[in-house]
Structure 1
Amino acid sequence: MALLSGATIMALSAGQHAFGQTALPKNIPEGLKLEADQALPITPFYTDNTLANTPSWPGALIRAEKVTDYAIPAGMTAWRILYHSLDAERHDVTTSAFVLLPAGPAPAGGWPMVAWAHGTSGVAQPCAPSLMKDLYYGDEGLFEFPKAGLAVVATDYHGEGTPGAHQYMNKLAQGYDVIYSVAAAHEALPGLLSQKWVADGHSQGGMASWSVGEMEQQMNNPDYLGTVSVSGTVDMLDFIAPKPEEIGAPFYFPMVAYGLKARYPDFDVKTVLSKEGYEHYPLIATKACWFTGYAAYLGKTSSQIMKPNWTKLPAVQAMLKEDRMGDEPVKGPLMVLTGGGDVSVPPGGVRKTAHKACRNGIKLFFHLYPGLDHDPTMINSTQDQIAWIKDRFAGKPFNENCGTF
């Protein structure tokens, strides 16, 4: 397929968030207001555990409801679902998601389905995309999938929307949430969704979607057709300790500390966060989301927020080991995209991981969009993603390009 070239892409610089066209906040009150403007209430749909505590299996549907309070394009329909999933240690967890259906009647066999994994929205319960009027990625290409005839099931990840701790930046926890959203969506909307599906994700979700490919190598689900990973945090060390020339985004690091605590309950976040870094941590951990996290640490460097040598602590090293990508076999085709101007998830780490995967015999297609930052890469690659995904549903041959990048 024809990929966009640097000459035809406008090098947007919308920042490292999933509200690509919204002005970034300069302070915490501005961040909280931007989030409040999009927020929907946490209803008993998310919190009533009467059925959630019933012994069940991963992917089992707990409840579903049709939704009318999302700001979605005319003709599309939306549902919320609640389902059983697994955390990183394979404990049962309750996870929420939304489903978007294209306009018009479903084709024979149901709408082809994309299991979507979102980028960082925050770590607190209110930060679930299904609790946002614009579904977080609405203006960043997500609505283009249903417009192209692809249904979307989009997990929130457990701990966002549902009670409990969100195991932020854990490839196993997020991978399970994506995989099991597919079975739950089928149960919620019988006959409307194709059994065949593809995984796709951006940023945090780019690691999750790649992880889905690894998991499916073991599960060997014949209906899984492949994965798209866009600007994925597939080199976690490069993400949390970028080279000076890579800039990086230190305001994510308190969220990483939260994820460590969620994954390893005995972990003390104050072993990695400085006094200045901990100042806004309780707000981020309980009710604030991406905008407020960005504003809370605006202008702060990693050395101001984090303690010296924090990446060498045992819990961090355990996270890095668990999140390693590019070593395990991947089932089906893999598309890896990144932006040459990404200051949140350095493209060097993505390319390095793709090189490693190729050396390990993983067949993939890699492309770098020159000059594009984190979210502009998602926005400007959407049509390339859709074309690649449609090729998978059409059964077309997969062209890998290992050895050429």
Structure 2
Amino acid sequence: MDKNLLLACAAIASLSTAACGLASDARADDQLPETVPKAAALEAADLLPITPFYTTPGKGEVYPGALIRFEKATDYTLPPHVSAYRILYHSLSATRQDVVSSAFILVPDGPRPASGWPVVAWAHGTSGVAQACAPSRMKDLYYGSEGLFKFPQAGLAVVGTDYHGLGTAGPHQYMNKDAQAYDVIYSVMAARAALPQLGADWVVDGHSQGGMASWSVAEMEHQIDDPHFLGTVSVSGTINMLDFIHPRREEGGAPFYLPMVAVGLAARYPDYKPQDMLTPVGMSHYDVVASKGCWFVDYASYFGKSGDQITKDGWTRNPDVQAMLKEDEIGKQEIKGPLFVITGGGDVSVPPGGVRDVARAACHNGISLAFRLYPGLDHDPTMANSTDDQIAWIKDRFNGKTFSSDCGKF
């Protein structure tokens, strides 16, 4: 059951289960866990054990994109005719320091195309900020039921970074567009070193946190100018960070993300103190969020709490928060290749108005893009229900089809 669909239903108590899209006979364990023990048990059931693959120091050359090791993975729950691998590789932090990241690769079975499998670099949405929260350590790769497996079934290879600090040791610079974009770009380089059957042409596709990362990749690629980079999909992206961390009351929002934001701020800015942002209620589970729990545990830890209870008045005026907002600005820099921006009209996690505002501003700044709003859909349902449209758009890029802009039409 989709976690963010359930989140929306939990936030709007007056909705019936049918209105939330839940079957009337939905089991009790289909609901979001409201206690930390239940949430921890749910996460443990999907989690694969940490192995030396993630923790053994690497040998060899150290440069961004350098492959440290790879292995075939047989412990994922995959659809038929799809093979999986894991890689460990060097990447960069937001301040361009060497870090180690992990990723998974999905490859269709069968004869490879003459030019190799076309590659989709996948940037995932928030899974948590603790080391255990890497999608490559989850049996379903976190997005298995939300359209991810449709990509290899459509003949596209997938390279999915975990982002450094998830899976690997060290802090996760949560919601930092540069850090996450580096991890995406260098995962593709490392994946090609591991699997020569991957082709040179690639696109990037990301959801939520990854929707910001994917747009940031397009900005970086304008400078890199890789001729094989063909375009970007940004789904429900946190491309308007202020609207995400401090939404208007009518926009909803999900306050339990805020302690994760505090973890990301502390990882990026050494002098930042989470206590400057979080109230005692907000700090009450901070250590759990930072080092133990993932999405479900983080949700349960702050179940029933509002943003006003978790955060202090005026916290967004902190200099480090202002630096984060500046660093995460989207829509002002030139990008390489076509851009497809998607949002859901019923998104309570990443308000669609903020996504549309950034897309319009990007058009005003000379960035050509296609925009699609899916009426009524919440955060994760937007990803799941738009996957076929994403794949069709991506295949148009690989097939060299002319791109049409929607600027001025939304």
| TM-score interval for Structure 1 and Structure 2 normalised by the shorter chain | over 0.9
Higher relative contact order (CA 8 A, sep 6+): 1
Shift of 1:55: 4.6
Shift of 1:224: 0.3
Alpha carbons of 1:204 and 1:83: their partners in 2 closer, same or farther (altered >3 Å)?
same
Residues 359, 371 of structure 2: 8 Å contact kept: yes
2:265 to 254, 260, 282: 260
Q: Tell me the TM-score normalized by structure 1.
A: 0.94
The question of 1:292 aligning with 2:297 is answered yes
The question of 1:35 aligning with 2:27 is answered no
- Give the alignment of 1:223-372 within 5 angstroms: 223-372=228-377
- Paired residue for 1:392? 397
Shift of 1:23: 2.9
- Give the alignment of 1:82-231 within 5 angstroms: 82-190=88-196, 192-231=197-236
Distance 2:111 2:136 in 1: 24
Residues 347, 379 of structure 2: 8 Å contact kept: yes
Residues 15, 373 of structure 1: 8 Å contact kept: no
Distance 2:309 2:323 in 1: 24
- Paired residue for 2:76? 70
Deviations 1:76-98 (A, max 9, x none): 10000000100100101000000
Residues 16, 375 of structure 1: 8 Å contact kept: no
One-letter amino acid matched to 1:392: R
Q: Tell me the TM-score normalized by structure 2.
A: 0.93
Distance 1:117 1:349 in 2: 20
SS of match in other structure, 1:122: coil
Count of aligned pairs: 389
Shift of 1:15: 3.3
One-letter amino acid matched to 1:149: G
One-letter amino acid matched to 1:49: P
- Paired residue for 1:13? 5
Residues 165, 172 of structure 2: 8 Å contact kept: yes
SS of match in other structure, 1:90: coil
Deviations 1:372-391 (A, max 9, x none): 00000000000000000000
One-letter amino acid matched to 1:101: V
Shift of 1:341: 0.2
Shift of 1:164: 0.2
One-letter amino acid matched to 1:38: D
Alpha carbons of 1:14 and 1:398: their partners in 2 closer, same or farther (altered >3 Å)?
farther
Shift of 1:62: 0.4
- Unmatched 5+ residue regions in structure 2? 10-20, 23-29
Distance 2:112 2:263 in 1: 41
Shift of 1:302: 0.6
One-letter amino acid matched to 1:122: G
- Unmatched 5+ residue regions in structure 1? 1-11
The question of 1:44 aligning with 2:49 is answered no
- Paired residue for 1:25? 33
Shift of 1:28: 0.7
Distance 1:133 1:33 in 2: 14
Distance 1:76 1:50 in 2: 28
Distance 2:383 2:120 in 1: 15
Distance 2:222 2:403 in 1: 17
- Paired residue for 1:3? none
Deviates more, 1:101-110 or 1:367-376: 101-110
Shift of 1:292: 0.5
Distance 1:50 1:334 in 2: 36
Residues 14, 375 of structure 1: 8 Å contact kept: no
- Paired residue for 2:16? none
Deviations 1:304-341 (A, max 9, x none): 01111111111100000000000000100000000000
Shift of 1:16: 7.0
Distance 2:5 2:219 in 1: 32
Residues 58, 68 of structure 2: 8 Å contact kept: no
Aligned CA-pair RMSD: 1.4
Shift of 1:13: 3.1
Residues 119, 159 of structure 2: 8 Å contact kept: yes
Distance 2:262 2:58 in 1: 32
Residues 15, 375 of structure 1: 8 Å contact kept: no
One-letter amino acid matched to 1:282: D
Shift of 1:234: 0.1
Runs of 4+ off more than 4 Å: none
Alpha carbons of 1:258 and 1:78: their partners in 2 closer, same or farther (altered >3 Å)?
same
